[in-house]
Amino acid sequence: MSKPEMKNGVASTTTYDFHYPQPKEKETFLEFCYNKKNGTYFGRTISSWGRLLLFYMIFYAILAGLFAICLQGLFATIDDHEPKWKLDSSLIGTNPGLGFRPLSEETERGSVIQFDTKKPGEYKYWKDLLDVFVQPYNQTGQENTKVCNFGQTQDPNKVCIVDINSFGECSPEKEYGYNKGRPCVFLKLNKIFDWTPEFYSDPTSLPENMPADLVAHIKGLNETEREQIWISCEGQHSLDKENMGGIKYYPSRGFASYYYPFRNQPGYLSPLVAVQFESIKLNQLLSIECRAWAKNIIYNGSIRDRMGSVTFQLFVD
């Protein structure tokens, strides 16, 4: 590009030259891996690669050190035997949930226990599920376990065993009643660390909505045996109640006081209550609700926010 200028009264032309970058030579893949002309490997010289690797080694070493310091600070606040946040300050809270077994692993079954007594394969399916469930309870003879009874002085260094063979018609040797069409359903409460139940032990101050048969049962026990978390099971609807028939509870009608509180004792297993349905109507789907009774167990029977109880369905062909 040129531009006219005046110099000593004479016009002259100044020429400006612009730099145009030369087109870069195309590089093959092999030349990218090793360029002999530039002495580079994958676009960098050996010294450049060395500086880059040294930087990342120092960077990740510092990062790992900071992470280790954070973990050590976290572990310093954690106890191996009890949770940091307990009861009201924990996410679990103080209201234990009630669960049941057997529970099928097949999602399409849901909470329905269905079998035909004339087909051994069907009732054996539920028996096998219960065998797996009670297997931990067969591990007796441990040094820190003992057989407990009401009125005993409790040893904090020992845990009370749950003798599954004392469950009568709901014991493994009786096949939990499934072979005779008298199925047993096992109930247990979720474990909450350091939670102590408040019992309905005074027969004169029982809840008005407590089932009459449970009230009569409590009144028939002595004072020490009344310290239990009571269990009641009944049909959800009037037709269910008519077709449910008689039921029995093993080994008792509640979770005894000597199993509480749970403090992560070695070998501790949650107490169980087995409910046997002795004469349910065949070919009739029954919806059963079982409820736990204690002063500090909140009950909500709504389908969405069920608390303090559990529901399941029985169908025996």
Q: Which domains does the chain have, with CATH numbers?
A: 1-78 (no CATH), 87-316 (2.60.40.1660)
80 pLDDT exceeds 80?
no
Q: In this model, does residue 131 exceed pLDDT 90?
A: yes
Residue 291 tokens read as: 């409820």
Give the pLDDT mean for 271-282: 93
Residue indicated by tokens 């050590």: 72
- Token duo for residue 307: 């608390």
Residues 28-62 pLDDT 10s? 767 667 777 777 777 778 888 888 899 999 999 99
Whether residue 3 has pLDDT greater than 60: no
* Mean predicted confidence (pLDDT) in 1-13: 56
Q: How far, in Å, CA of 167 to CA of 249, rounded?
A: 9
Q: Is the pLDDT of residue 7 over 60?
A: no
Cβ proximity of 99 and 300 under 8 Å:
no
Q: Kindly report which listed range (45-49, 106-110, 129-133, 236-240) carries the lowest average pLDDT score.
A: 106-110
Length of the chain measured in residues: 317
Per-residue pLDDT, 27: 66
Handedness of CA 159, 164, 136, 186 (dihedral sign): negative
Confidence of residue 155 (pLDDT cuts 50, 70, 90): confident
What is the DSSP secondary-structure string of the chain?
Answer: -EEEEEETTEEEEEE-----PPPPPP--HHHHHEETTTTEETTB-HHHHHHHHHHHHHHHHHHHHHHHHHHHHHHHT--SSS-SS-GGGSSS-S---EEEE---S-GGGTTEEEE-TT-HHHHHHHHHHHHHHHGGGG----TTEE---TTPPP-TTSEE---GGGSGGGSGGGGGGGGGT--EEEEEEPP-BT--------GGG--TTS-HHHHHHHHTS-TGGG-EEEEEEEESSHHHHHHH--EEEES-SEEEGGG-SB---TT-----EEEEESSPPTT--EEEEEEEE-TT---B--SSS-BSEEEEEEEE-
What residues does 256 pair with on adjacent strands? 228
What gap in Å lies between CA 227 and CA 304, rounded to an integer?
31
* Residue 101, Cβ density class (10 Å: 0-12 exposed, 13-18 middle, ≥19 buried): buried
* CB within 8 Å of 78: residues ≥ 6 apart: 84
